[in-house]
Structure 1
Amino acid sequence: MPVESLDLSAAAPAAPICVARINGVAVHGESESLAAEELRQRACTELLRQAAIEAGLLAAADVASADGVISEAASCAIEALLERDLHSPEPSDEACRRHHAAHEAAYRSGERVRLRHILFAVTPGIDVVALRQRAEACLLDVRCHDGKASAGNRFAVAASELSNCPSGERGGELGWLGTSDCAPEFSREIFGHSEVGVLPRLVHSRFGLHVVEVLERDPGVAQSFESVRGAVANALRQQAFVTALRQYLRLLAGKATVEGVDLDAADTPLVQ
Structure 2
Amino acid sequence: MTRQLDVINIGAPADPRPEPAMPSACETHGCGGADEPMQPLPAFGIVTVDGHEITAEQIAEEMPHHPAPTGEEAWRAAAQALVVRHLLMREARSRGLAAEETNETGKRTADDEGLVKALLDDIVGDAIPTEAECKRYYSANRHRFRTPTLYEASHILIEPEEGAGEDGWTAAEAQTRTIIDAVADDPEAFAEAAREFSGCPSGQQNGSLGQIRRGELVEQVQSHIEATVVGSVNPAPVRSKHGWHVIRLDRIIEGRELPFEVAKDKIADLLEARSWTVSAMQIVQSLAEKAEIEGVVLDAPPSEEDQRQGTLAA
Please confirm whether the aligned pair reaches a TM-score higher than 0.5, indicating the same fold. no
Which structure has the larger Rg over C-alpha atoms?
A: 2
Higher relative contact order (CA 8 A, sep 6+): 1
TM-score, reference length from structure 2:
0.38
After TM superposition, the score normalised by the length of structure 1 is 0.43
